[in-house]
Amino acid sequence: MCTIREKISLAVPLTLGILIFYFGTLHSSFFNATPIPDTVIDRAIPFIPVFVVPYFSYYLLLLTPLFVIHESQELRNTAFGYALIVFTSCVAFFFWPTAISTSYTDPLIRGLLSIDRPRNACPSLHASLSLFCALCTQRNLKSSITRYGLWIWMLLVIAATLFTKRHAVVDVAAGVVFGGIVYRLIFDPIHQDAGGPKISVEDPQRRDRPFVDSSQNIESLRQCDSRKCLLEFAIFVTLAATGASINIWAIAHSSFMALAIGVLTTTGSLYSLLHLLHEGLQRQLVPNCLWNRISMVLSGFIFLISFSAFRVQHLRRLRSSGGHRDNFVRRIWELLLIPILIPVSALRFGSATQRKIVCSEYALLFLVCSVLLRTFSMQALVVVWILPVVFAGSFWILIRTTQ
């Protein structure tokens, strides 16, 4: 049972965080906003100022879970969904800003226009949070009349964004899709395989290590060889710095030979890091648990994956194969589909806690990629980062397949 004090402790910091993130990005001007194009549907929708009433009722709608959800874990999951939607959307608002291209004025919406700028358009937070809120709330409503009333309210809020011309159909659709996806990621039932060795990702004693024979000493997998890890990390840093320097010089001087040497050097550095990442699936690499976690997550980001998602997918593959090595063709397909296979597998088969961790890591990865894309040119990122990642991953799979 969730107490009033617990509800307040969740609602107050979450509300403050939403306000800071939203209005902070709304009034930022680091990057020029891209206008959202008007579609035929947008031009056919009339401007109706009176819809400002359901538009503002959105803020009341967001509070309804506090009054109908009484289980602590469910309320925390709902708060996490709110935070995930707002954080991811605000990253998009800041680094990839969009704005509505139409402007209407009326005395009824004068107050709205004074606080709501035309930026922060796509994805629509009104649409994503309203849908997510309605889905979370209706789980706890027993009366069909109340459910119908909730959905009518939600539809009026979303429609109000179009009738007051504060959003376009494109960003409303994006918001609806995003809100629905987040709800499914958090509240969908966990899928479990029927066959294979019984290794459950729910088991806290076994989910952090691969399938091994019971006669092996489990503790040996968790021994920390700090010197070896430090040496491998030093090799990664040295080769990465050298490769990046050569690539930058090669791009500046248009030298193909130097560029090839730089890409190969960076590939070697990433191969050594990939070896560390794979070892991190089986044991703790550094004595401090927090630093071990941070290092593994950041290493996963370099390969555009979530380490937690990689671990869940790794355990599931071992469980389904019974510890046997996959054939060459399957590994090649895994390489080609790895950006999709890893998150989909983790979000489908992971526990509720793992799902939230995976979602958090991918939200942070979106932030990291946005910073890099806004800081460096695409050409530099492809040469210094993307190509070496592809080459290192391909080489890794070829080596492990032929062993």
Domain ranges of the chain: 4-187, 224-402
CB atoms within 10 A of CB 15: 14
Model pLDDT, residue 80: 96
Rounded to whole angstroms, the Cα distance separating 246 from 257 reads: 10
Amino acid identity at 361 = E
Contact 147, 138 (CB under 8 A): yes
Model pLDDT, residue 202: 41
CB atoms within 10 A of CB 303: 21
* Beta bridge mates, 98: 34
Model pLDDT, residue 334: 61
Model pLDDT, residue 200: 41
- Copy the structure tokens of residue 174: 């994006």
Model pLDDT, residue 191: 62
Q: Which residue has the tokens 């509720």?
A: 352
Amino acid identity at 19 = L
Rounded to whole angstroms, the Cα distance separating 52 from 74 reads: 32
- Copy the structure tokens of residue 118: 């035309």
In degrees and rounded to multiples of 5, residue 36 shows phi and psi of -80, 120
| pTM summary value | 0.85
Rounded to whole angstroms, the Cα distance separating 393 from 115 reads: 49
Identify the segments of the chain with pLDDT beneath 50. Answer: 194-219, 221-224, 323
pLDDT 10s digits, 315-363: 877 766 554 555 555 665 666 667 777 888 888 888 888 899 999 999 9
Model pLDDT, residue 295: 87
